[in-house]
Structure 1
Amino acid sequence: MLTSTICAAVSAAGLGIAALTAYRRRFLAATRIAAFSLVPIGLVLTGIVKWLTDIVFKPSVWAGFGILALSALLFAVSRAAERRGAGGGRKERKAAAAAAQRDAMAPAASAPSLGPGRAAGRPGSAKKSGDGEDFSDIEAILKKHGI
């Protein structure tokens, strides 16, 4: 009952402000204010306000929200534990990272070198990275600008 009265008062005040705004010939703003001011009374008439007040003031509803929060927390903890356990421990992850780094360095180390800054291909070509990318165009741009 009290919430209905408050919502009706807010709507009436909003409509009054909208009327004053329309009097000042700001019709677009007055229309927006009127639209916002009709929302509280619309919520009361549809019953949403009663439903919300029933949710807020019932301890059993808050207990239900607490149980849902606990469920979400347990789910998150189990997912984190699963991810942590799937990759092995810290030592296994470090060993795997070191092996991957050695594998990435192996093809570059086995390529014959003609000197600093030159690859085994045609003279003056840029070195190829481990992924097979050619940086000759970037090198040409840098040379053009004197870098």
Structure 2
Amino acid sequence: MLAETVCSAVSAAGLGIAAVTAYRRRFLTAARILAYSLVPIGLVLTGAVEWAVDTAFSPSAWLGFGLLGGAWLLFMTTRVVERRRGGTRKERKAAQAAQREAVAPAASAPSLGPGSRPAAQPATKPKAAGSGDDFSDIEAILKKHGI
């Protein structure tokens, strides 16, 4: 009963503020205030306020909220632990299988003796860090500006 009265008073005050705002020719703001002021009376008419009051003073409802909070906390804790370990169990098994497949072909190749391995090919030398190609763009920019 008290909650319905408070909601009705809030809606009436909101309607008054919306009327004053519309009188000042701020119609968009007045429409927004009107929308906010209709929410409390709408909650009263749908019965949501009565449900909220009954829920607020019900021990079984608070127990239910506590259980929901505990379940959420447990779920979030397991997610944090899962991320620290590096993914789900399926993802870890897939990564282990990929590692075994990557190692297996070289490990299972038959050993035919010391002369059976192909000769190592010489690696190509990378360009030196101080080569002229690296600074040609910079030199062009400096010459353009007369430096």
Q: Of the candidates 112, 135, 142, which is equivalent to residue 125 of structure 2?
A: 112
Q: Of the candidates 130, 140, 144, which is equivalent to residue 144 of structure 1?
A: 140
> What amino acid sits opposite 2:57 in the alignment?
F
Distance 1:60 1:143, change over 3 A: farther
Tell me which moved more, 11-20 or 73-82: 73-82
Distance across 1 between alignment mates of 2:23 and 2:129? 81
Q: How many residues in Structure 1 have an aligned counterpart in Structure 2? A: 108
Distance 1:81 1:50, change over 3 A: same
Distance across 2 between alignment mates of 1:73 and 1:145? 59
Q: What's 1:19 paired with?
A: 19
Distance across 1 between alignment mates of 2:129 and 2:17? 78
Cα displacement (A) at 1:86: 5.1
Larger radius of gyration between Structure 1 and Structure 2: 2
Flag structure 1 segments of 5+ consecutive residues without an equivalent.
88-109, 119-123, 127-138
Q: Indicate the RMSD between aligned Cα atoms, in angstroms.
A: 2.9
Tell me which moved more, 74-83 or 58-67: 74-83
Flag structure 2 segments of 5+ consecutive residues without an equivalent.
88-122, 143-147
Counterpart mapping for 1:117-132 below 5 A: 117-118=130-131, 124-126=132-134
1:2 lines up with 2:2 in the alignment: yes
The answer to which structure, 1 or 2, has the higher relative contact order (CA under 8 A, 6+ apart) is 2
**TM (normalized to structure 2)?**
0.56
